[in-house]
A and B are shown apart, each in its own frame.
Chain A
Amino acid sequence: MSTLFVLAKTPYVTNDVTRVIRIAMSMRKKNEDVGIVLIQDAVLTGIQGSANRFGNQLADAMRTGVRIYLLEPDAAARGLIPERVLPGIEFVDYSRWVDITVEEYEKVANWT
């Protein structure tokens, strides 16, 4: 059954991001569909740049088929523009977040 995780904090203050990415990648090994929505401070995980080791973890996850979404209003609030974000991450607004929750995933694991 497909799972959508929600993360809300930066990966520097909590191990949530690392933990969820690990779980998500394990799910992919079992051919499960899995997505991660980055909201609030967690949007900052998606900054592109090799020194951002958590961004590299997200990139690894995407290569295995984990879908990563990023809440646009939270990105805009923090000055994070699409050009600065890892390629492959999908920007969503609140409406689209609701859609993917209801239509594309069977359950939500709110890891906030």
Chain B
Amino acid sequence: MTLVKWLIVFRHAPFGWVNAVEAIRLSAAAATEHQLELLFVDDGVFCLMRGQAPKGIGYPAIDKSLRMLKELDVKYYADSESLVERGLKEDDIDPRYRIEITSSDEVAHIMAEKKVVLCF
């Protein structure tokens, strides 16, 4: 099978919606078979916050999976505007994700060069 470029887009905050957990499940599969990158935009940037502890509300954690994907060299892009308008600073983000902060123009370019774009 030829390697195909995938982009999985996280658009929703974690835990209030199932989207983040579902996106991660698919990401884990896609990362092993194809060339995967992740984009965090709008409320999706909330998935990147450090120190998450969802055990107290009975939800599965997402940080372990997001760290595991980094070991497969998956790039994480975070939309600059989305971070700023939510009051999020670089300090709020888990440094282990090694996110690349991107402008809207860069997001467009990242998306355009992919064969598969899936939005959650």
Chain A residues within 8 Å of B, Cβ to Cβ:
8-10, 12-13, 40-41, 44, 47-53, 55, 73-74, 76-81, 84
Chain B residues within 8 Å of A, Cβ to Cβ:
12-17, 42-43, 46, 49-57, 59, 84-89, 92
B17 to chain A, nearest CB (A): 8
**Residues in B neighbouring A73, C-beta threshold 8 A:** 56-57
Q: Is the CB of A78 within 8 A of B86?
A: no
Q: Is the CB of A78 within 8 A of B13?
A: yes
Q: Is the CB of A44 within 8 A of B57?
A: no
Bound-complex Cα distance A80 to B53 (A):
9
Q: Is the CB of B52 within 8 A of A12?
A: no
Q: Is the CB of B86 within 8 A of A41?
A: no
Specify which of A10, A47, A79 is in contact with B52 (CB 8 Å cutoff): A79
What are 6 A-B residue pairs whose CB atoms fall within 8 Å in the complex?
A40-B15, A40-B16, A41-B16, A47-B87, A77-B15, A78-B15
Q: Is the CB of B43 within 8 A of A13?
A: yes
Q: Is the CB of B49 within 8 A of A49?
A: no
Q: Is the CB of A44 within 8 A of B13?
A: yes
- Known A10-B13, A78-B13, A78-B14; judge A44-B86 contact (CB<8 A): yes
Q: Is the CB of A8 within 8 A of B89?
A: no
- Residue among A48, A50, A80 having the largest count of chain B Cβ atoms under 10 Å: A80
**Residues in B neighbouring A81, C-beta threshold 8 A:** 51
B75 to chain A, nearest CB (A): 22
Specify which of A10, A41, A79 is in contact with B51 (CB 8 Å cutoff): A79
For B53, give the chain A residue with the smallest CB separation. A76
Specify which of A9, A48, A55, A77 is in contact with B59 (CB 8 Å cutoff): A77
